[in-house]
Structure 1
């Protein structure tokens, strides 16, 4: 059997993923045609789908991913980003969803593509914008730790959501919020917090997917 294929990029670096599962075929974020080519490959039986393109190219459609999911003997898992979206759409056809982002979409607590959409650099897939789902998560953590008030969390979430996803970043979100809401005192507290306290729900879920793929190899 061929190595498992994992589409991965900005959610989790290939370097970090290889520390968990060295023996996998790590590929860039999936684009149109990638899943059709895999469906035509007789040897690939284990595929993980985390990242896909949003603006850089055409993303893989649900129909394309379905062609792979329906393949006999195929284990196809999705998580964290576009993979989580496709897993919700195709779970009834056998695609496996993993992680909190998947469950948030499945339960309809979030529903927009732009919750996970980001732009990233070619080559190393470094983030050029922040995912809305990760912004929500960090605001929640800051609120639970007493860094910001519930009102500030709500205001910053609203300001972030209004920014088109390729342009979402903490500097702009906080600057806009501060100019519109000068009465809010703890915006600067969050600015300091996020410098060292930033967490990524997408990365956590991507790690879970790589660990799942590893467990399927070990159990085969």
Structure 2
């Protein structure tokens, strides 16, 4: 049986992950973590899932670190959702496996900036303190499809959100700034704000679950 290790934090609650797969769940990865992992592994086949990493309070694992893990014997490296998706795009040609929609969006050039997946989170429970731009886009898409907002409002909120530095991207800040810049959209922006309270979805979480399911089917 393969050994499964997953670096995850704000993208997916570990209890949800454990409902799918019992594995060695570790905190979001930072620079040096993968080198230490390489040094600690034995000869067993190991599957490493890279989902979350640090962007602000520490440095994320570098492509070189991930590459060193990829080329290690008996090791499979899979990425999704956040830093895992970014590194998978960079290192797919060396054997890293990318999973999910976010990986595909970066791979095919639909998204190209790291801040699309960057968030801030609490250091104890890894609870979100800001929203990922990719999830904001996803929720705007869903709210447009459901008729909550129109295309003009979607465009305005997207533009405003993208111009906010990622640690300060909360729906409250985004809506308030949208109303300041586009006063005529006050009611529509407020409608989106009310909608998101009970209807917030996460593409990062969805992709993280896909990664966990992929590993489950491997081990």
Which interval holds the TM-score relative to the shorter structure? over 0.9
Query: Can you list the C-alpha shifts for 1:155-191, whole angstroms capped at 9, x where unaligned?
Result: 0000000000011000010011112211113111101
> Please, what is the CA RMSD of the aligned residues?
1.1
Counterpart secondary structure, 2:77: strand
Contact 2:45 2:74 in 1 (8 A): no
TM-score, structure 2 as length reference: 0.96
User: Are 2:60 and 1:59 aligned?
Assistant: yes
Which residue pairs with 1:33 in the alignment?
32
Contact 1:121 1:127 in 2 (8 A): yes
For 1:70 and 1:204, locate their aligned partners in 2 and report how far apart those are by CA, in whole Å.
28
Measured after TM superposition, the shift of residue 59 of structure 1 is 0.9
Which of 152, 170, 193 aligns to 1:191? It is 193
Hey, which bits of structure 1, 4+ residues long, moved more than 6 A? none
Which residue pairs with 2:212 in the alignment?
210
**Aligned pairs for 1:19-168 within 5 A:** 19-22=19-22, 24-40=23-39, 41-42=41-42, 43=44, 45-168=46-169
Measured after TM superposition, the shift of residue 2 of structure 1 is 6.4
Measured after TM superposition, the shift of residue 44 of structure 1 is 5.6
Structure 1 gaps, min length 5? none
User: Are 2:12 and 1:15 aligned?
Assistant: no
Contact 1:3 1:44 in 2 (8 A): yes
Contact 1:38 1:44 in 2 (8 A): no
